Each structure stands twice: as structure tokens, then as C-alpha cells.
Amino acid sequence: MDYRNTELTITEIEQLTGITFKTIKKKILNLEPCRREGSKIFYHSHEALGAVFSVPQDDRLSLQHERANLAKVQAKKQELEYQILKEKVVSAEEFIDEYSKRVVAAKNKFMAIPTKLGARYRAFSSPADLEEEAEQLIHEALKEMAVPHASN
């Protein structure tokens, strides 16, 4: 049966689509029936099926419009690929991996300071010397954190 230019009842639409009677009734609420035959109400198939599947009748996308959308998406994709090649953009996974490595390295450096000071404790003649050594170790750790790490 050719459904493009036919008239269908809600029951026929239900059988054709597998969508429930109640749902069809809600979706075609604003449609005008094309004719009535006793208790049967008929709708134009293209309007009814369009409403059931939520296809706008007056605002269908043209091939030209679709091509323009495709061209925009392709241009955005090419720009992103270019930025990645120029290393101006990195993936979230790469960033998180590198950031995690740096945080762990910084934590390890700072956690090692008391151990280093403890090993040298007897060599210090005054608290000022100990403070100076601690400050120097902290500056070394901070300086090492500031140097970019090679990712590979």
C-alpha cells in the first residue's frame, strides 16, 4: 500500500508505526481530519505521520542547508586538528595525565624535605642555619616544579 497520498485512521497509524493509540492521539491533536466516515476519522498520511514522528511540515531542511551545516562542522573539525598539530590544544586526558604527574612530583619533593633536613641535622650549628637549609630545599623544589617536564 502506498502511504504517501492516502488517508489513515488513528488505528491504521497505530498498526503501521507500532506507537500507542494514546500517543498518536496526543501528537495529531492539532491536525484537521481530511474526512469522517461514521465514527472513523481520517487524516492525510503525510501530515499524520509527520506529526507522529515530529517532522515539521513547513520547515523541512533543504539539501543546500544540510550541505552548509556539514561544511561548518568540517571547518570546525579542520581548525581543531590544526590547533592540535600546532600544539595549541591538548586533549583533556593528556592534560590530566601531565598535571597529575606534576602534582605527584611536587608532593614527593616537599615530603622529602624533612628527611633531607633530618639527615643533615647534626651539621647545623644554629636554628638559623637549619632554617636557611630548609628554605634552600623549598626553593629547589619550587624551581624544579617550574621547569616544564618532557611528556615522553
Q: How confident is the model at residue 58 (pLDDT cuts 50, 70, 90)?
A: very low
pLDDT of 123 > 60? The answer is: yes
Q: What is the pLDDT of residue 84?
A: 82
pLDDT of 36 > 90? The answer is: yes
Q: What is the pLDDT of residue 77?
A: 92
pLDDT of 150 > 60? The answer is: no
Q: How confident is the model at residue 4 (pLDDT cuts 50, 70, 90)?
A: low
Domain boundaries, given as residue ranges, for the chain: 7-52, 61-90, 92-146
The residue that leads in pLDDT, 18 or 3, is 18
Name the least confident of 38-42, 65-69, 112-116, 143-147.
Answer: 143-147
Q: What is the pLDDT of residue 50?
A: 83
pLDDT of 87 > 60? The answer is: yes
Name all contacts of 8-14 with Cβ < 8 Å and 24+ positions apart. Answer: 8/42, 8/43, 8/45, 8/48, 8/49, 9/40, 9/41, 9/42, 9/43, 10/41, 10/43, 13/43, 13/48, 13/49, 13/52
Spatial distance between the Cα atoms of 47 and 50, rounded to a whole number of angstroms = 5
- Phi and psi at 31, nearest 5°, equal -80, 145
